[in-house]
Chains A and B, each alone.
Chain A
Amino acid sequence: MSAVATASRERRRRRSEDDGPGHASGIAVAALASAFGVALLQGTGLIAAAVGADPVTGSSGTVAVLLRLTGLVFVVIAVYASAVVTTNTFAVVVAGRVRMIALRRLLGATAAAERRAVAREGLLVGAVGAAIGLVAGTAAVAALFGAGRALGALDGTAWSPADPIALVPAVGVLLTTWLAARIGSRRVLAVTPMQALGGAEEASEEETRASRVRSMIALVLVVLGAGLLAVGIGIGSTDASGLLIAFAGGVVSFNGIVLGAHLVIPRTLRLVGRLTGSSPTARLAAENAVRHPVRSTRSTVGLLVSVTLVTTFGVAIRTFGDMITAASGADPLYYAGVDAALNLVTAVFSVLIGFSAVIAGAGLVHSLSLGVLQRTRELGLLRALGFTVQGLRRMVLAESGQLVMTAVVLGLLLGTVYGWAGAHAMLGASPGMPGLLFIGVPWVLVAVVVAGGLLLTAVASVAPSRRATRVSPVQALGAD
């Protein structure tokens, strides 16, 4: 390729990057979460209708209610994951625009107005994403319904896509995206007009330092949640209602962990980073991953949430199943038939929760890309000093791997604890159950999670690493 072509391509590329990363991934995340939620609720509606039409099972109305409730739980999970990711996405968008915002501030715009503008974009992103999701999710279930009827499987089932409950996830996504944009845009307030004048130093994303209060609240939540979990398990050994208390304990403590993630994740990142070796590539990658602790934490938390949940359900169900198997020697009739259902539930739940990992993955790509974008000059410098293109590629890959593996390791640990607690809180009371230390580890699921992590590492680094290798060493020189 001629140098001329390269140069003109370079110019064009630079122009397109001046505005920083856009809203594509914000919309993608909102649409994914919304589509997932809508499809799930529409789907459970369809299943409930099908079950209701069955003369044997239909006698019990509780099945429909239970299904809907379970569905809602997953919707909340997905919306929560998308909110975490979107907050980061917007922080990233703002960081990419610092110079632009600074220039507008210099010309007289107020900080509050600038922030409102970003929040408005959030509302728009949320609206577009939610709408896409609403249509896509409903269409998917309608297609399923159509296929079912064509096969004659759903005869006598009356189902209509005009189900008001399907609006819940869409509206939820709209509101949380807006809220996430507001939270993520806090950084706008810190942009000073001076930043439009300053040198091209990397847009210093002055991380809002996590307050003591926040750490305290996180600690209190974790302790409180752990206490509730213990109580739930305790009650669970005499009465099945312990599950509710344990569930509350799980929710409370996990929120504590997410809130206090800024204390745990950077440390884990550092640790994982040390494992990747001491070559300059690995060391630079390790440093980059902890360069913006808040950003890294946020982009990791989304994934942490999904890995923890998948593991929680996997371990809970496996422990549950193993306990039943152990106990069925004592009372086989009581537990007959449960096993098949459990396997199905495991598979379905894993896929349902695993979906939030896709959402988290989109956020990861976004923040890795921004990291590369903000380091354009530094990457140019490394190239000038003799870093090879492969070296840069390896660096981005190592960075991606560090973030993903941190989430995977922490998530597997947490999920194992929660899953174990859940199973014992649910079943401990039943006759013939093995002791409290009993735990079933779903090794297949663990292997799938780790493999998924490796896959995500590679996939998430494709776009940012392409961007990094396009940086020319000339970009490190001059003021430009």
Chain B
Amino acid sequence: MTTALPIGPVAGPAQDGGPVVAAAAVAKQYGSGDGVVHALRGVDLTVRRGEFVAIMGPSGSGKSTLMHLLAGLDGPTSGSILLGGRQIAGLGDAQLTALRRDRIGFVFQAFNLVPTLDVLGNVLLPFELRGRGPSRDERAFIDRLLDELGLTDRLHHRPRELSGGQQQRVAIARALAGRPDLVVADEPTGNLDSRTGREVLRLLAGASSRHGRAVVMVTHDPVAASHADRVVLLADGRIVAEHGRMTAEAVATAMLGLEDGR
């Protein structure tokens, strides 16, 4: 199984685009009274067009929570989140649903595909949820995407007939098919071997560098983080460090430092 590096048409100038998502002083609490959990305690983070950001940190530091908020899966307790210039903190469920459908692509660690739909059905699902099929132009883009992901001869297979790596590629195809502004990925390589994982990372990197998507990835793996343009370290609900591109070793050292400091 060899997959060429991505991909398709270069969607305009990829580097130093405008902000896609901007979080300011974002806090999130779960529960109340004695049992209150401060998952995030004031986070500022901006992710630009064409940028691939990795979020790292010890378990329970708030990585997933932050990602959920950026993707409109949940609302912050306080603070502001601008997605494409629009305030999404405080939006109702229906508006957030429409927002996710139209502007955000998701890649999950597991359970990322609808088991009753075949590969093509899964990839086209976001379009169907928008209430219209893909246009001719979009369809051509999707076909190229599927081709480059090596999925063309798998279009009518069900997810359970695919390997984990193939499933994850389908999920990536689905996340990119609708050309969303923001792609979020929660430990996308968590269930994959290192070679397949690397492939997935290259795809995500390509989505940002060549397609101009903003990509936010949560990961525990220093190697995965080394593929990102920027590494954000979270601890105890706060951003404690931000780095540019880092080697896996540097990431590992930084992580160790965090854990020792606790």
Q: Pick from B35, B36, B71, B125 the residue with the most CB of A within 10 Å.
A: B125
Set of chain B residues within 8 Å of A476, measured between Cβ atoms? 106, 108, 111
Q: Are B110 and A386 in contact (CB under 8 A)?
A: no
Among the stretches B15-23, B73-81, B251-259, the one at the interface with A is B73-81
Set of chain A residues within 8 Å of B36, measured between Cβ atoms? 4
Q: Are A388 and B94 in contact (CB under 8 A)?
A: yes
Choice from A202, A280, A291 contacting B129 with Cβ under 8 Å: A280
Docked complex: A439-480 residues within 8 A CB-CB of B: 472-474, 476-479
Q: Pick from B30, B35, B121, B191 the residue with the most CB of A within 10 Å.
A: B30
Docked Cα-Cα span, A474 to B75, in Å, equals: 11
Set of chain A residues within 8 Å of B190, measured between Cβ atoms? 479
**Contact residues of A: prevailing secondary structure:** helix
**Chain B: CB-nearest residue to A288:** B116
**21 A–B pairs (Cβ distance < 8 Å), ordered by A:** A3-B74, A3-B75, A199-B110, A200-B110, A279-B128, A280-B129, A283-B121, A378-B115, A381-B106, A381-B108, A386-B102, A386-B130, A387-B129, A388-B94, A388-B97, A473-B100, A474-B68, A477-B106, A477-B186, A478-B108, A479-B187
Docked complex: B95-114 residues within 8 A CB-CB of A: 97-98, 100-102, 106, 108-112, 114
Q: Are A477 and B100 in contact (CB under 8 A)?
A: no
Q: Does B64 contact A (CB under 8 A)?
A: yes
Give me the 8 closest cross-chain CB pairs, A-B, nearest first: A386-B101, A287-B116, A280-B128, A386-B129, A7-B30, A4-B32, A473-B73, A377-B111
Docked Cα-Cα span, A385 to B106, in Å, equals: 7
Set of chain B residues within 8 Å of A391, measured between Cβ atoms? 129
Docked Cα-Cα span, A290 to B90, in Å, equals: 39
Q: Does B126 contact A (CB under 8 A)?
A: yes
Q: Are A478 and B186 in contact (CB under 8 A)?
A: yes
Count of residues in B whose CB is under 8 Å from the partner chain: 42
Q: Does A207 contact B (CB under 8 A)?
A: no
Total A-B residue contacts, Cβ distance less than 8 Å: 105
Docked Cα-Cα span, A199 to B128, in Å, equals: 29
Set of chain A residues within 8 Å of B30, measured between Cβ atoms? 4, 7-8
Q: Are A478 and B31 in contact (CB under 8 A)?
A: no
Set of chain B residues within 8 Å of A280, measured between Cβ atoms? 125, 128-129
Closest CB of chain B to A202's CB: distance in Å? 7
Q: Does B29 contact A (CB under 8 A)?
A: yes
Which positions in B face A, CB cutoff 8 Å?
Answer: 29-32, 35-36, 64, 67-68, 71, 73-75, 77, 93-94, 97-98, 100-102, 106, 108-112, 114-117, 121, 125-126, 128-130, 174, 186-187, 190-191
Closest CB of chain A to B40's CB: distance in Å? 12
Docked Cα-Cα span, A377 to B186, in Å, equals: 15
CB contact under 8 A between A385 and B73, given known A291-B116, A478-B186: no
Taking residues whose C-beta sits less than 8 angstroms from the other chain, chain A's interface range is 35 or more
Bitwise, A349-392 to B at CB < 8 A (1) or not (0) is 00000000000000000000000000001100111111111010
**Chain A: CB-nearest residue to B39:** A7
Q: Does A136 contact B (CB under 8 A)?
A: no
Set of chain A residues within 8 Å of B100, measured between Cβ atoms? 384-386, 473
Docked Cα-Cα span, A376 to B229, in Å, equals: 35
Docked complex: A373-425 residues within 8 A CB-CB of B: 377-378, 381-389, 391
Q: Are A385 and B116 in contact (CB under 8 A)?
A: no
Closest CB of chain A to B69's CB: distance in Å? 10
Closest CB of chain B to A285's CB: distance in Å? 10
Q: Pick from A378, A381, A477 the residue with the most CB of B within 10 Å.
A: A477
Set of chain B residues within 8 Å of A279, measured between Cβ atoms? 128
Q: Are A479 and B110 in contact (CB under 8 A)?
A: yes
Q: Are B93 and A389 in contact (CB under 8 A)?
A: yes
Set of chain B residues within 8 Å of A5, measured between Cβ atoms? 32
Q: Are A384 and B94 in contact (CB under 8 A)?
A: no
Docked Cα-Cα span, A7 to B101, in Å, equals: 23
Q: Does A53 contact B (CB under 8 A)?
A: no
CB contact under 8 A between A383 and B109, given known A3-B77, A8-B32, A474-B74: no
Set of chain B residues within 8 Å of A381, measured between Cβ atoms? 106, 108, 111-112, 114
Q: Does A183 contact B (CB under 8 A)?
A: no
Closest CB of chain A to B128's CB: distance in Å? 4
